[in-house]
Structure 1
Amino acid sequence: MGFQKDTTLFTGRLKSMVFAIKGAYKLVTTEHSVMVQFSIGIIITVAGFYFEITQTEWLLQTLAIGLVLSIEGLNTAVEKIADFIHPEFHERIGFIKDIAAGAVFFAAMTAIAIGAIIYFPYVTTLV
């Protein structure tokens, strides 16, 4: 008996959510780069409470954290698939992996810019 798709509205969505939570947990607990980025996200969230940032700043910060973690997750998936398909080094696979890593770089630089714009005024008032 093969895979049977659950077509019911509620249980099908619930199962999808369980798979997504399992995937997020695996990502955060097995990938070192995600562990670092997740930790930075927690630190920045604590900083948001400390500095009492505005609602708009919270929205931008949350979006930036989610963007970096999401793109890193996609990058990890691309790397795992590429390694599964071609375990030995291959120039074209390396090119694909570099492009996926470049996407993470863009997301991270965007998050750093957002963090700097949000926190620079708060930090300068401390000095």
Structure 2
Amino acid sequence: MKKHNFLDSFIYALHGFRDTFKSEYNFKVHLAAAIIALLLGFLLNISIGEWFCICLAICLVFAAELFNTAIESLADEVSSEVNPQIKKVKDAAAAAVLILSVFALICGVYIYVPKILAIEF
């Protein structure tokens, strides 16, 4: 078995990100939302604390989506048949993504809506 160096770990992680991006529609949706949130942050000149909240929310959603994809892929490999326990695991992982996505949305609304409403046209 080949011993992996420190750089290999980053390469494998990037492969995981790339593969998830290629195969998961929801990951692309989250990435688009993250890009919009970051652009809004620059346009609305948000504070350092607000940047922290936005970046934390983005990272949490990405991490949850990656974990969800990993769990679903492993579960599908273990059994292709309908299995109530596997369904329970997959549903729980999907629920984690949902919870963090709602959290990210709430953060965005809390930070951006007042700034957008304060813009004078």
Q: How far off its partner does 1:126 sit?
A: 2.8
Percent identity between the aligned chains?
A: 32
- Work out which of the residue numbers 10, 22, 25 in structure 2 matches 1:17: 10
Correspondence for 1:5: 3
Correspondence for 2:65: 72
- Work out which of the residue numbers 20, 31, 45 in structure 2 matches 1:52: 45
Give the whole-Å Cα distance in 1 for the aligned partners of 2:105 and 2:39: 16
The TM-score with structure 2 as length reference comes to 0.93
Give the whole-Å Cα distance in 2 for the aligned partners of 1:63 and 1:13: 25
Describe the SS at the equivalent of 2:117: helix
Listed one character per residue, the Cα deviations across residues 31-68 of structure 1 (whole Å, up to 9, x for unaligned) are 10101000110011111111111111111101100100
Letter in 1 for 2:19: K
Q: How far off its partner does 1:25 sit?
A: 1.2
- Work out which of the residue numbers 92, 95, 103 in structure 1 matches 2:88: 95
Letter in 1 for 2:11: V
Asked whether 1:124 is paired with 2:78, we answer: no
Give the whole-Å Cα distance in 2 for the aligned partners of 1:43 and 1:120: 14
Structure 1, gaps ≥5 residues long: 7-11
Letter in 2 for 1:119: Y
Larger Rg: 1
Structure 2, gaps ≥5 residues long: none
Q: Which portions of structure 1, spanning 4 or more consecutive aligned residues, are displaced by more than 3 angstroms?
A: none
Letter in 1 for 2:9: S
**Pairs aligned (count):** 120
Correspondence for 2:19: 26
Q: How far off its partner does 1:92 sit?
A: 1.3
- Structure scoring higher RCO (CA < 8 A, sep ≥ 6) equals 2
Describe the SS at the equivalent of 1:59: helix
- Tell me how large the CA RMSD over aligned residues is: 1.2
Give the whole-Å Cα distance in 2 for the aligned partners of 1:59 and 1:110: 14
Describe the SS at the equivalent of 2:118: helix
